[in-house]
Structure 1
Amino acid sequence: MSEVTATNDKKPTPWGLWVTIGFSGIVLSVVFFIQIVLTVAFLIFVMFQNPPINYEDFAKELVYNGNLLSLTTIISSLAGIGLIVLFVKIRKNITIENYLGLQKFTKKEAFIWLLFYSGYLAISYISSYLYKPQFPEFMEKAYKTASFLPAFYLALVLIGPLFEELLFRGFLFAGIKSSKLGATGAISITALIWAIIHLQYDLYFIVSLLFLGLLLGIARLKTGSIYIPIFLHSLNNMLAIIQTILYIEKLT
């Protein structure tokens, strides 16, 4: 009887560090594989629809194609979210809500972290004014080639940020934080990996994303809620799209 009680009273914990890293690697591998498959399928479809097209040039421009970006982001992100939920559910001693930080937050917390994000934007603006980086070619070409903008907005402002935050500030964050690396390791490692996977940008913007990732990680730790990082991430992407639109209009 005492053994049963001890088992029931066991503190809910996420997967260990190495299992967490392994499962996260599986999620990213599946996501990237789906993106590759969809990219090949997209290329084949265009080949049949447009026989005279220069396939070599078109293939080089696929990375900037807004329609393909929307398609691959939505489908691969939804698959990634499904895998995250699966890996959390097979960890029997903890709920999905506690594991991923699906916790309520107060209006005060939202306001405070919106102020912190505003500070990040101000610093980014000042640094960009001093450094004068080239506007991201990726965003400019992606927006110009996105013929169905609702899907483009859905992918970049909602589905993409939702998946990335559930993985990095949710699943991966929880596993690292519960290990010997603690909260500091969880914040820094998730921010670093998240920044590195955005290889479509140059070094300046990757470093900028690193600092944003640190901010999102701290928000996740202090509020205990994944919703704040999701909101700030979505807001950041929305502002990036607005900035892209203004930049394109300025050129024309």
Structure 2
Amino acid sequence: MTVLSTARRPSESLVMDSLNPDYPPPAVTPATPRVWMFWGTALWGLLIFSAMFVGQIGAIVLLVAQRGLPMDLASLQLVGREPQALALSVAMGLPTTLAVVWLAIRIKKASFVDYLALHWPSWKQLLLGVVGLILIVLVWETMSRALGREATPGFMTDLLKSGRDKGAALLLLFAFSVAAPMSEEVLARGFLYRGWSESFLRVSGAILLSSLVWTIVHLQYDLYFLAEVFCIGLWFGYMRYRANSLWLTTLLHALNNLTAVVLTMWLGS
């Protein structure tokens, strides 16, 4: 005689409980993204900026050592003013920046792509970003002309003209239109925005603070140009929020720099 067991396996129990209105299935809540919050993001941001600086100054130090010059401030300044050396310095800041950002995200065991929002934007979002950027630049160009100011900082104009004459045009083009936008966007609209937007600052505070940090990175400019940088940073921050895409702000940043470099070199001819 066969005895039928009344014991239910765990999977059968879950199925039966889900059919019982007195025992509804447990709600499954999505896992909270692993993100550095305000202070963690701020401290890591400082490390990322330091890594960018170390990569840039490291390139100059190597050139000074390669030429057998004394390792002092005068030699660093002398070599650093050369267009080829400056372009190499800017380019070398990119790998060190990416390395520290990767480490910070890796410690949180998060996805590098999702953390930095490395998603391609739609053509509509790209068009909106470009139109907004053009309008901002035109407003500042008009103000510069009305105030009798130069549209491009004088030292940048001299650097680009010198680089063109010395055969460093392509190297400068890569440094300012590819390496610099990627480094700065990964720091500002990538890492800093992501952590701060999920802290007490929320989105608006993250846009403001990340734009301010991005402006501080450009302290080689005077207050007038810093104000322009800050305005452009606000637009980039808004587009980062609207499109949820760091690639979008990187493309806009690259387009802005590319246009400035090409026009300055062309006008210089």
TM range (shorter): 0.7 to 0.9
One-letter amino acid of the counterpart of residue 243, structure 1: L
* Unmatched runs of 5 consecutive residues or more in structure 1: none
After TM superposition, the runs of 4+ consecutive aligned structure 1 residues lying more than 4 A away are 5-8, 58-63
Per-residue CA shift, 1:47-78, capped at 9, x if unaligned? 55xx9xxx95x754545422112111111211
Deviates more, 1:75-84 or 1:214-223: 75-84
Q: Is 1:120 aligned to residue 144 of structure 2? A: no
Change (3 A) 1:40 1:110: same
* Unmatched runs of 5 consecutive residues or more in structure 2: 1-25
Distance apart, 1:42 and its partner CA: 2.3
Q: Helix, strand or coil for the counterpart of 2:35?
A: coil
Q: 2:117 aligns with which of 78, 83, 101?
A: 101
Residue of structure 2 in register with 1:30 after alignment: 51
Deviates more, 1:173-182 or 1:24-33: 24-33
Residue of structure 1 in register with 2:205 after alignment: 185
Q: 1:224 aligns with which of 241, 244, 268?
A: 244
One-letter amino acid of the counterpart of residue 262, structure 2: I
Residue of structure 2 in register with 1:75 after alignment: 92
Residue of structure 1 in register with 2:13 after alignment: none
One-letter amino acid of the counterpart of residue 16, structure 1: M
Higher Rg of the two aligned structures: 2
Distance apart, 1:131 and its partner CA: 2.0
Question: RMSD value over aligned CA atoms?
Answer: 2.4
Cα distance in 2, alignment partners of residues 114 and 139 from structure 1: 23
Per-residue CA shift, 1:229-250, capped at 9, x if unaligned? 001100010011022113322x
Residue of structure 2 in register with 1:241 after alignment: 261
Distance apart, 1:107 and its partner CA: 0.9
One-letter amino acid of the counterpart of residue 78, structure 1: P
Cα distance in 1, alignment partners of residues 107 and 76 from structure 2: 40
Q: TM-score, normalised by structure 2?
A: 0.80
Q: Is 1:111 aligned to residue 127 of structure 2? A: yes
Cα distance in 1, alignment partners of residues 136 and 205 from structure 2: 21
Change (3 A) 1:185 1:218: same
Q: TM-score, normalised by structure 1?
A: 0.85
Q: 1:12 aligns with which of 21, 33, 36?
A: 33
Aligned-pair identity in percent equals 26
Q: 1:158 aligns with which of 178, 192, 196?
A: 178
Per-residue CA shift, 1:149-191, capped at 9, x if unaligned? 3222111111210111111101110011000011111101111
Q: Helix, strand or coil for the counterpart of 2:33?
A: coil
Q: Is 1:204 aligned to residue 224 of structure 2? A: yes
Cα distance in 2, alignment partners of residues 43 and 114 from structure 1: 40
Change (3 A) 1:227 1:34: closer
Q: Is 1:214 aligned to residue 214 of structure 2? A: no
Cα distance in 1, alignment partners of residues 200 and 42 from structure 2: 14
More helix by share: 1
Deviates more, 1:186-195 or 1:31-40: 31-40
Aligned length: 238
Q: Helix, strand or coil for the counterpart of 1:133?
A: coil
Distance apart, 1:7 and its partner CA: 10
Distance apart, 1:18 and its partner CA: 0.7
